[in-house]
Amino acid sequence: MSEKASIYVHLDWHIGHYVKILIDEVFGEENLQREIIWRIGWVSGYKSIAPNWIRNHDTILYYSKNPEDRVFNKDYVPYPPDYERWGGRPSGKGLPIEDVWGVFPQEGVTSLQVVSYSSQDRNYTTQKPEGLLKRIIKASSDEGMIVADFFVGSGTTPIAAYELERHFIAVDIGINAIQTTRDGLVKKGASFDILRIKDGIRLFRNPAQTSARLFSLIDGFKARTELGLGEFWDGAIIDSNGDYVPIKFVQIHDRLTKELLDVLLEEIYQLQDVGGALSKVKLIYAHIDPDINQSYINKEIKEAGKTTVSVELISLDELLGEKQDMLYMPDNAEVVITDSGDGCKVEIKRFFSPYLKAKTDKFNSKKVKKDQASLDDELEEKSTPRKKVSISDEGLELIEAVQFDTTLRKDDVWVSNIDFEDKAGVKDKIKAIYHLPVKKYKLKIRNIAGDEITLDSDDIRKKSPLIGLIN
């Protein structure tokens, strides 16, 4: 961040007050400029019968890196009639817009004008009104400056920044977010690049999915919630005698450095007496600094003299053994191409996702606790089976979107042809049949978990009708 920069943090009422403490540590609590109240709704029908206080606002925390140099541009509206009669002293700029709230509701100047922003709906659940983002961007940046949003969602921030002649950086881990943002920027005529950042092992775009997949392959693994372990632990490995060894997994995109190891060991020292006699733990890593090994850990523990717990260092590859090949089972599709003239018909006959199949099987195998059962079952004394989820033979309901790249850039950068983009509806599957005016293209299929496969038309013709299946 530059010395002129500011940061706006929006989180809901469940977590915002905790995050404020963390931000105070980073920027200094003296650099909190304002707690901004964003009114997100108006009192309307049926709220009078709600069994609780009505929640109609969110909080935005506004910090600056350097209060003396920060950019702040006030927004003004014309003075309302009779302003001087009410004791006001007009200046040349007008009335600061935040001062209008509830003061002069007459003569067309209303609080609704100040805080009610129309939404440019891009069918994204956490989308913010563009008017809200524009006001923030105008207030804390000048034309030509850079606006960054690291959880970009539907892309409202970069679109607003572009329209206000600012540069932008938009970041998200979700492919749906990236593509929704891209489509919105394309419609506005913005020029931008899409960069893929690879900072570790990524089996799925959602880290939680990746961890769940890894743990499912570890023999004897039990989640911490099943064993009543604290939040520090990821779970434990059960041996043949029924004893367990708690494990801490260094996230797949993190490198196990000396600094990180020091933090983990300190946590282990403090937790050694929690949950009974703790004698051994496993520290699992995917990436490690060359200076760290088992001897180094043993030496660090001995010199600290804070515990008798044995910490075993083990690599993910070593732990999984032959099962590591199972990590990379891709989704697969049965695709048929029928050529005609200068174009072709593309038909997706079948789609299968090993990850979604495993998640479905796991869901179907669980029982519903009594307090989670339906009203009809609440008198049952035993656990009630869940209503099972089934996957059709075609599996098309597992597909969230289908896209085609007919541009085929030489640098292999994907360019979607929006005319042939197909997204599933809430209750509707994809069309699965597409008529293209070209014979060469790339086909991208994204599943409902956000993971995707990309197929080349030439490869489809060679291998058709079965693409990507693993026996």
Q: Kindly report, residue by residue over 405-425, the tens digit of the pLDDT.
A: 999 988 887 888 989 999 998
Q: Kindly report, residue by residue over 94-126, the tens digit of the pLDDT.
A: 777 766 544 444 444 444 334 444 545 555 556
3-state secondary structure 58-91: EEEEEEECCCCCCCCCCCEECCCCCCCCCCCCCC
Residue range 207-324 in CATH 3.40.1350: yes
Query: Which pLDDT score, from 0 to 100, does residue 433 have?
Result: 96
Query: Which pLDDT score, from 0 to 100, does residue 306 have?
Result: 85
Those residues whose C-beta lies under 8 Å from the C-beta of residue 185, and which sit 6 or more positions away, are 155, 158, 159, 162, 192
Q: Kindly report, residue by residue over 328-372, the tens digit of the pLDDT.
A: 667 889 999 999 989 999 999 999 988 788 788 878 876 544 444
pLDDT at 452 exceeding the cut of 70: yes
Q: Which residue intervals of the chain bear CATH 3.40.50.150?
A: 6-188
State the pLDDT confidence band at 71, using cuts at 50, 70 and 90: very high
Query: Which pLDDT score, from 0 to 100, does residue 289 have?
Result: 84
Angle at 253 between CA 252 and CA 254, to 5 degrees: 95
* Strand ranges in 117-266 using DSSP code E only, listed in sequence order: 146-149, 167-170, 221-223, 235-238, 244-249, 255-256
Query: Which pLDDT score, from 0 to 100, does residue 203 have?
Result: 61
pLDDT at 381 exceeding the cut of 80: no
Q: Which residue intervals of the chain bear CATH 3.40.1350?
A: 207-324
pLDDT at 470 exceeding the cut of 50: no
How large is the average pLDDT for residues 190-208? Answer: 71
Between 471 and 434, the more confident residue is 434
Which of 218, 364, 371 shows the shortest CA–CA distance to 282?
218
Query: Which pLDDT score, from 0 to 100, does residue 268 have?
Result: 87
What superfamily does domain 6-188 belong to in CATH?
A: Vaccinia Virus protein VP39 (3.40.50.150)
Q: Is 432 exposed, middle or buried (0-12, 13-18, 19+ CB in 10 A)?
A: middle
State the pLDDT confidence band at 373, using cuts at 50, 70 and 90: very low
pLDDT at 445 exceeding the cut of 90: yes
The pair of structure tokens assigned to 157 is 């921030």
Query: Which pLDDT score, from 0 to 100, does residue 369 have?
Result: 47
Of the listed ranges 175-184, 204-213, 309-318, 425-434, the least confidently predicted one is 204-213
